[in-house]
Amino acid sequence: MDKLLGSIFTVSLFFCLGCKLEDGWLGIKVFETRREEVEKRLGKPKEEDKWRVIYETDEALFQFFFSREPCRQPYVPPENFIIGSSALAEGFNVLKNTVLEYSIVPKKSLRTDEIEWDRKKYTRTEDTHLRNAVHYRNDKDGIYIEANNFKDERGETVRKIYFQRSADHVAKYRCKN
């Protein structure tokens, strides 16, 4: 019983119980949340450079890309592009230090069934190159989940979650040049 309560407590600290993944991790939303709000939730950055900011908590490692100025392209060296970082190759009409995209790598085991999310919004695919790897993609909300499917009592375990731009974000915020 104590182990179950400890697991529930850990999950609630890492991901607020009752919060939907589609509403952002801890309420952090792409193209809406500002850096100071991120730091209220995650603390000061562990590391930062010209193009990304890394935060670390006991539960996860977070990588963020913030806007530099409205309609100004952020600096991202091509060799450092990640999945979805094409959002960073364009300027968007958002305030300085607005979240453009972010990713999360859990440090502790987090099963997909421990997250509150609308599975109907996601397309699930099994990776043809990595054994036991599965991917969930929600293009409408700009969310991509990488997971391991152990096919045993561990179930599907989250490796990484990406929060990226959606087509709606592009239509609403892309600079008209």
Q: Identify the CA nearest to 116 among candidates 1, 39, 14, 35.
A: 14
Sign of CA dihedral 40, 41, 42, 48: negative
**pLDDT, tens digit only, all 177 positions of the chain:** 444 434 443 444 455 556 799 999 999 999 999 999 999 999 999 999 877 999 999 999 999 999 888 887 655 555 555 544 444 556 889 999 999 999 999 999 899 999 999 999 999 999 999 889 999 999 999 999 999 998 778 889 999 999 999 989 989 998 886
The edge-to-edge listing of strands for the beta sheet with 143-149 is 47-48, 53-56, 60-66, 99-106, 156-163, 143-149, 133-138, 123-126
